[in-house]
Structure 1
Amino acid sequence: MTAEPLTPGRLRTALHALELFAGLTEDQLDWLVSVSRPRTLAEGEVLFRDGDPATEFHVLLSGGLVVTKVVDGREEVLTRHSTEEEGAEDHDGKPAAAHRFTGELPLLTEGGYVATAAGSGPATVVVGYPRPVFFEMLTRCHGVAAVLLPVLAWRIKSSEVQARKRATVEALGTLAAGLAHELNNPAAAVARAAQELAPALDRLTATGHDWGAEAGGAERGVLDRLTDELAKLPPPATSDPIAQADAEEELADWAEETGAERPGLLAAGVADLGLELGWLLERLEGVGESALPAALDHLAAVLETRALTAELRAAGPRISQLVAATRDYANLDRAPEQRFPVTDGLENTLVVLRAKLAGITVVRAYDPDLPELTGYPGELNQVWTNLVDNAAEAMEGAGTLTLRARAEGGCMVVEVHDTGRGIPEASLPRIFEPFYTTKDVGKGTGLGLHLSYRIVTQRHRGSLTARSVPGDTRMTVRLPIAPSTPTDQVERGS
């Protein structure tokens, strides 16, 4: 289907029927028609693309447009403009006039398009007005601004709400990924230990019977003292893995020569404690040659069982720590506004992002006796997550992340410093703008730093600044220590 060509008369009638141009005089309409360039869009034909420089203001005469953006590799529909739905009530409060024009926001901010617009349905006719013509339109046709400004205000507010929702989803996704990765190790340890514990207990019972049948009273006392001493040993210090492997081999060879049934199990258990053959021989004095194999098998079973139960004991608190850190990070069971130590949120963020920080040295530089803040810790945790996550990506698995916190001039100052590739000088003034990103296409929404800026400046009446050169990027957050009542709070997304 092809749209009928627009004659100047039909174009004049179509433009005058729009709310945007309804109040124009005859002379203004004559000028508008003279600068209008009708264009027909086919289904799916692109009007403008995300990231392209904004060059035109577009007015929709008939048909529809669909506005999309690629977020994390997926194309999402941001909004639709349709002349058929213009009079319908929108659930999100979209003004009727907003269906009829697009492109004014990036023109006014001298930026680029932040989404892609394409035809929705055939015979969609759009009129494109270049930047100089658009600004002349605002000065010549005063009634245009009266319609355009409320739509502009709604779009800015709508983009903020969408930014908060997307950034919240990003933060929850980061939280879920970090939690899943961190829970994998203790959960796997629990599963493995639970699976191996039953046969280990069977071996312990069997070797106990054999040892009891072979040993005399004095020999039992020797082994009882040895197992008690092993239970009280402190965790071994970091040792040379080559030396430990040599000790384990020597222990296994000796245990096999004595006739032990599981020499490898005994050798691994003893060497893992940082012990050698000489230490074991000294403490086994008094056990006869005939009873020694049964003693070694029982000792191996004891060490195996203790190692498995130690894994279970270590995994439980680790899981509890992760759950507690996640609860505190998300601020799930507390009032939204509260007094809190800022370092708690920083530490919980490090726990959540531990997997992304693998290979990166983390340095904490917290001043002692820091005062507590009054605010919204759950929202600030989104800030810490964005800043630390960006720093980790910039360092690509190698470098130093430094977190600093200090009280200064009535404010809490938190600094996130990384030794990564840095932010390009040309990009630095724009990093807090919505949808602006220096990451590759599909790897970022450009909302994280914008949301962080809003949370810090409007929710907490603070400031967020950045300075960067290659190898030295510093994001500095200043938060008032004394509570204050924001006059322009960010609308909170659900």
Structure 2
Amino acid sequence: MSGAGIEGAGLRSALHGLEIFAGLTGEQLDWLVSVSEPRVLADGEVLFRDGEEADRFHVLLSGGLVVTKVVDGREEVLTRHSTEEESAAAEDHDGKPSAAHRFTGELPLLTEGSYVATAAASGPSTTVVAYTRPVFFEMLSRCHGVAAVLLPVLAWRIKSSEVQARKRATVEALGTLAAGLAHELNNPAAAVARAAQELAPALDRLTGTAHAWGAAATGAERTVLDRLTGELDELPPPVTTDPLAQADAEEEIADWAEQAGTERPGLLGSGISDLGLELGWLHERLEGIGEQALAPALDHLAALLEIRSLAAELRAAGPRISQLVSATRDYANLDRAPEQQFKVTDGLENTLVVLRAKLAGITIVRAYEPDLPELTGYPSELNQVWTNLVANAAEAMEGAGVLTLRARAEGVCMVVEIADTGSGIPEESLPRIFEPFYTTKDVGKGTGLGLHLSYRIVTQRHHGSLTARSRPGETRMVVRLPFAGSTRACAPPAGAPADGPAGAPPASTR
């Protein structure tokens, strides 16, 4: 809609009434009016969209704007700008400067990027004035008072966005943790539930077969079966399993047991074949048991194997659940001091456990130097870094490739490399990936703050460095952290390239 109704003296007066332009001289105001592009927006009309190239700085004269961003398919309201005092006061709970209500779009202009959110009119009549990119920079040089108001607002917006992103990252990390834990707990929990459900009837069957076997067997025959079951206890698990050979053995044992008159030949066949054994082995161990006692012996043996199988499932499921709970506790660092000494490889391994579902189909390669010194810092925050870097690597490989984790000592620093075989980071994007709001993902797929927050955690909280090197088929994120007790910061090597291949020791698959 046209903004012709607010031109001339009316526009000059409206601009002069704003905090950002209040200190301008008459000559500066006249120039500002001459380069202004007034615009009136209907309710809901979009001023600019997330991802569009930033080409204008916008000043709000009347009405309101709502600023939103689509994150993972969900639209979130980031902030609201309003010229109404009551509405503006409602948005000031997080320390928002009053001047921040009256302009928007300066950040992408200063970084030569795209708009990082969508702004739309809120209310029946919203009036804005736009200034093109060249005019905006000329405004900063002509009107020195503008920068004095703009820069504190800019600093607040960056800090506010980082706080929101950190909260979002925490929620996402908890969501990832919960989803990963639920996924990993599903199998052992299901095994426990199934074994518990089947244990009572299996015990009843064992009691019944024990009575039948005791009534049918002689003392010598009972000794034969006792010796067989004792040998089964000492058998090691099969080194390799051939599914076809195992299926053939199971069928052969079941057919023979059925001919012998057993009640559950299939159970006996699966129990013996699961141990990597065949019918010939069973024949040899059953010599000495007469034809009359053979069927009760096989029924009792099948019941014993069933109970032992259920017990083995419970024994395996319990430690697996404990391992997952331990990894989750260590990942989140619950009930621990904020700063502590820790092994960086523990955090890397716990991150792999948490992200196991996302890493399905990806080969994991570890290259950890032995006996690495401990670090002093905030392991829960570093776990956010590892999670972000590993998740980005997994997304870059689209479910298939090689993820390599390296950890080595380099002077007083620990060097951690996370490498993937994805498509790589575009050369023109590499120098900017740690900038706030910069993202190479599609609109709605990322906030542009994940790597920036990781960078701040590494550099500011741990006095380290985070660099990226990339080429097609190989991307490496290199983190350097000072060892416990070191008073020196870990900076990247002097003259190290921002991209390109990086030398590293050979890795081994484990």
In the alignment, which residue of structure 1 is the partner of 2:195?
193
Corresponding residue number in structure 1 for 2:184: 182
Q: 1:87 to 1:360 in 2, by over 3 A?
A: closer
- Which residue in the other structure is 1:250 paired with? 252
Alpha-carbon separation, structure 1, partners of 2:89 and 2:174: 34
Aligned pair in 2 of structure 1 residues 169, 434: CA closer, same or farther (>3 Å)? Answer: farther
- Post-superposition CA distance 1:174-222 (Å, at most 9, x none): 2122111111111111111111111111111111111111111111111
Bigger Cα displacement from structure 2, 445-454 vs 266-275: 445-454
Asked if the contact 1:59–1:128 (Cα under 8 Å) also holds between the matched residues in 2, the reply is yes
Contact persistence 1:71–1:442 (CA under 8 A)? yes
Aligned residues with identical type, % of pairs: 83
Cα 1:474–1:2 change in 2 (3 A) is: closer
Structure 1 residues 87 and 447 mapped into 2: Cα distance closer, same or farther (>3 Å)? closer
Relative distance call for 1:87 and 1:320 in structure 2 (3 A) is closer
Deviation at 1:422, TM superposition (A): 1.7
AA aligned opposite 1:286: G
* Residue 390 of structure 2 is aligned to residue 397 of structure 1: no
Distance in structure 2 (CA, Å) of the matches to 1:188 and 1:87: 53
Q: CA deviation at 1:435?
A: 2.9
Partner of 1:262: 264
Opposite residue 227 of structure 2, the aligned amino acid is R
Q: Is the 8 A contact 1:364 1:402 kept in 2?
A: yes
For these two proteins, the number of residue pairs brought into alignment is 487
Displacement of 1:396: 2.2
Distance 1:456 1:465 in 2: 10
| 2:412 counterpart (390, 410, 413) | 410
| 2:230 counterpart residue number | 228
Distance 1:122 1:485 in 2: 59
| Pair 1:130 & 2:115 matched | no
Q: Distance in 1 between matches of 2:163 and 2:398?
A: 31
1:420-462 residue CA offsets vs partner (Å, 9 max, x unmatched): 2222222222222223332334333332222111111111111
Q: Deviations over 1:254-307 (max 9, x none)?
A: 101111111000000000000011111111111110010011011101101110
Q: 1:360 is matched with which residue?
A: 362
Q: Where do 1:135-146 residues align within 5 Å? A: 135-146=137-148
Give how far 1:389 is off: 1.3
> What is aligned with 1:490?
none
Superposition pairs of residues 456-467 of structure 1, within 5 angstroms: 456-467=458-469
In the other structure, the counterpart of 2:64 is 64
Which residue of structure 1 lines up, in the alignment, with residue 110 of structure 2?
Answer: 108
Contact 2:53 2:113 in 1 (8 A): yes
> Which of 289, 294, 308 is the aligned partner of 2:310?
308
Matches within 5 A, 1:353-392: 353-392=355-394
Mapping of residues 275-294 of structure 1, within 5 Å: 275-294=277-296
**CA 483–35 in structure 1, closer or farther in 2 if over 3 Å, else same:** farther
Match of 1:274 in 2: 276
- Structure 2 gap ranges (5+): 490-510
Contact map agreement 1:458 1:486 (CA 8 A) in 2:
no
2:6 is paired with a residue whose SS is coil
State the one-letter code of the partner of 2:279.
L
Question: Which residue type is aligned with residue 357 of structure 1?
Answer: L
Instruction: Find the partner of 2:349 among 347, 350, 372.
Output: 347
2: CA distance, partners of 1:310 / 1:443 = 44
Distance 1:443 1:211, change over 3 A: farther
Amino acid at match of 1:362: I
Matches of 1:258 and 1:394, distance apart in 2: 59
TM-score (norm 2): 0.92
Match of 1:446 in 2: 448
Deviations 1:87-113 (A, max 9, x none): 627110000111000111111111111
Contact 2:7/2:38 (<8 A) preserved: no
Determine the structure 2 residue equivalent to 1:492.
none
CA contact (8 A) 1:42 1:123 kept: yes
Residue in 2 aligned with 1:32?
A: 32
